Each structure stands twice: as C-alpha cells, then as structure tokens.
Copies of this chain bind each other. A is one copy, B any other.
Amino acid sequence: MLLQIDHHSGVPIYRQVMDQIRRQVMAGQLPEGGQLASVRDLAGRLNVNPMTISKAYALLEMEGLLERRRGIGLFVATIRKDHKRRTKTQLLEQILTKAVTTAVQFDISPDEVHELTERLFRRYGSKVGSERK
C-alpha cells in the first residue's frame, strides 16, 4: 500500500490518507477482505504521527469502508459489487459536473471540452491495466 502525502497542500494529512485509501479500495488496488498496513507501520513509513493514521482509519471504519477485528488489525470491508460500481460513477459524475458547469459558464463548447479530455487521457494513460504498484 503506497500513499503519497503532500505536507504543503493544506489538506489535512488524515484526509489525504482517507482519500487515497478510499480510492484504492474503489479501484480494487486494495482487495476486499485484505488487511491494511498497521497504524504504526504506516505512520512510520509516511513519517507522521500514529494518531494521525489512527484517525484516518477510524473515520473510514465509521464510513463502513473498513472493518476492525479487535486485537488483530483493520481489513477492507466487503462491499456489494453494484454498490461499488455506483459509488465509482457517482464520484466521477460529481467531478465532471463541476467541469461541465464551469465550461458552460466560460462559454467553452462541448467539442473543446471533449478535445481537452482526450488530450488529458493520452497524457495520464487510459491504457487498460495501467501501472499498478
């Protein structure tokens, strides 16, 4: 499990951790039922305070994304597949909605948006089964 923390982004570290884990679970990079890195381990690797990781984990558990097994560790909860697909689409739609309303407000045509999107896809790799670490 690799996470990137940006200490200068202004986004709280525990939120960065949450977002990235949530995404990795949704993307299947963290398999359901799989165990997460321990609080101390992850904290050590990211060079942050264990409590910060613990907070992120606790919130994700409350979200229902993670499951605690007392004295053993934290695991990715099992999610129904359709629910997962829906969540993924919702997340994307949310971002795209912002893009579209911005374009409309700025008088940028759907064609221009489409072109720009294609260019970004080429840049950020749309190839199937892209690099998984």
Contacts and interface: CB of A to CB of B under 8 A. Distances in A.
Given A107-B27, A110-B126, A99 B102 contact: no
Q: How large is the interface on A (under 10, 10 to 19, 20 to 34, 35 or more residues)?
A: 35 or more
Interface string A84-110: 000011011101111111111111111
A116 B93 contact: yes
Nearest to A87: B106
B69 A88 contact: no
A120 interface: yes
Contact of A27 (B26, B106, B130): B106
Contact of A69 (B7, B96, B102): B7
A44 interface: no
